Amino acid sequence: MTERVVLAYSGGLDTSVAIGWIAEETGAEVVAVAIDCGQGGEDLDVVRQRALDCGAVEAVVADAKDEFANEYCLPALRANALYMDRYPLVSALSRPLIVKHLADAARYHGATMVAHGCTGKGNDQVRFEAGLAALFPELKVLAPVRDSGMTRDKAIAFAEEKGLPIDVSKKSPYSIDQNLFGRAVETGFLEDIWNGPIEDVYAYTANPAEPREADEVVISFENGVPTAIDGKELTPLQVIEEMNRRAGAQGVGRIDMVEDRLVGIKSREVYEAPGAIALITAHQELENVTVERELARFKRGVDQRWGELVYDGLWFSPLKGALDGFVEEANRHVTGDVRMELHGGRAVVTGRRSEASLYNYELATYDTGDTFDQSLARGFIDIWSMPAKIASVRDRKHS
């Protein structure tokens, strides 16, 4: 029986050429799997037909936008996931979703191998292969671009020789990856970290320097999940799409950073994540209102570790699963409304309210009606500072 390879298929040059390349190198049949994570672009039926025309024995296409929003973007939002305190894991979040579909397709089609088009310098090779190792460890992984010398020039020559139905005449100066949660841009002149990004780098966001009226928005949450905008109930997918539109129109969510890649090098990346940044900002502020101090302090460390695990390709790891339980519990009371002003590239919180609020006006006010017993403060300070005081006396005695 002929072996089968399941290929993570994007519809572009590299993965289209990989269909025939893999068949020639291994003698295996190729099943192409394309996943719509909200990246836009071509119709899935067109992508499927191209895979078949390039030699795939079967092509699986899946509209996974709702799945991506519900099972990947929402957990990241509840964990306030910002790698290096800035990057909302745009590409990293989509990889475990794709891996899950690849593993399912491999089981269904009886494949013994899975292939991807990642290079040896990026994070995605790790995310794909670590995910597959967790979900389907028996599979062999092929990486033609990394391991078989399938350079772009060779890919173009292969496509022309085989008459593959793909356009290889245009080459973007950038490497772009995009989905529902944002857009990542790298390479080209951006590799010189002294060069500033120019406007044609961006597609999800308007120029924040252009004058325009501010946009006020109210986002409603239940247990840390955004459920409505301006009082209109929406699905998670609709919330993210709407905030992408509104925050993007105000230039919110532009990020230009040098980040630490998992493979040990630093890389300059430009991101656009208008909806993600606005929603995380709102969620963090509602946590400030509803989450008890010690829980909030501990959660900030959990949030950082959660984001690092996802960035590092360990979505399916035991630690990530355990932290998910903590994040779920910590969001139990994160219910209420946050009002924001979107303007000039910023998402600024201007109001917050919650039935589960821990903010007590009578305790916080300095005006008439203050119920805070200030006479208790002296004894509290004496006890709180006692360990440091005792240590100081000891140190002076023995210095």
Asked if pLDDT for residue 281 goes beyond 60, the answer is: yes
Q: Which helix (H) or strand (E) holds 257?
A: strand 254-260
* In a domain? residue 398: no
The answer to whether residues 189 and 152 belong to one domain is no
Is residue 175 flagged as an active site residue?
A: yes
Largest distance between two CA atoms of the chain: 86
Is residue 392 flagged as an active site residue?
A: no
In the set 95, 246, 346, 352, the catalytic residue is: 95
Is residue 95 flagged as an active site residue?
A: yes
The answer to whether residues 133 and 265 belong to one domain is no
The answer to whether residues 308 and 338 belong to one domain is yes
The answer to whether residues 223 and 146 belong to one domain is no
Q: Which helix (H) or strand (E) holds 302?
A: helix 293-311
Is residue 177 flagged as an active site residue?
A: no
0.85 exceeded by pTM? yes
Domain count across the chain: 3
In the set 14, 36, 177, 312, the catalytic residue is: 14
Q: How many CA atoms lie within 13 A of 321 on its CB side?
A: 4
* In a domain? residue 285: yes
Asked if pLDDT for residue 163 goes beyond 90, the answer is: no
Question: Mean pLDDT, to the nearest integer, of 99-126?
Answer: 95
Q: Is 9 annotated as a binding residue?
A: yes
Q: Is 351 annotated as a binding residue?
A: no
Which pLDDT belongs to residue 169?
A: 55
The answer to whether residues 254 and 282 belong to one domain is yes
Convert the pLDDT of each residue in 334-366 to its tens digit: 999 999 999 999 999 999 999 999 999 999 999
In the set 175, 317, 354, 357, the catalytic residue is: 175
* In a domain? residue 312: yes
Q: Taking Cα atoms as reference points, which of 131, 178, 148, 170 lies closest to residue 17?
A: 148
**Spatial distance between the Cα atoms of 362 and 107, rounded to a whole number of angstroms:** 61
**Spatial distance between the Cα atoms of 310 and 313, rounded to a whole number of angstroms:** 5
In the set 4, 36, 48, 124, the catalytic residue is: 124
**Spatial distance between the Cα atoms of 290 and 293, rounded to a whole number of angstroms:** 9
Q: Is 117 annotated as a binding residue?
A: yes
Q: Is 120 annotated as a binding residue?
A: no
Q: Is 275 annotated as a binding residue?
A: no
111-120, 169-178, 181-190, 355-364: which has the minimum mean pLDDT? 169-178
- Domain housing 374: 365-393
Question: Mean pLDDT, to the nearest integer, of 300-321?
Answer: 98
Which pLDDT belongs to residue 115?
A: 96
The answer to whether residues 186 and 218 belong to one domain is yes
Convert the pLDDT of each residue in 49-89 to its tens digit: 999 999 999 999 999 999 999 999 999 999 999 999 999 99
The answer to whether residues 136 and 20 belong to one domain is yes
* In a domain? residue 359: no
The answer to whether residues 235 and 136 belong to one domain is no
Which pLDDT belongs to residue 1?
A: 66
The answer to whether residues 9 and 128 belong to one domain is yes
Convert the pLDDT of each residue in 180-194 to its tens digit: 999 999 988 999 999
**Spatial distance between the Cα atoms of 220 and 355, rounded to a whole number of angstroms:** 12
**Spatial distance between the Cα atoms of 256 and 264, rounded to a whole number of angstroms:** 19
Q: Is 235 annotated as a binding residue?
A: no
Q: Taking Cα atoms as reference points, which of 276, 347, 299, 318 lies closest to residue 73?
A: 276
Of 171, 193, 226, the residue at which a domain comes to its end is 171
Q: What backbone torsions phi and psi does residue 200 show, to the nearest 5 degrees?
A: -75, -5
Question: Mean pLDDT, to the nearest integer, of 289-309?
Answer: 98
Average pLDDT value for the chain: 94
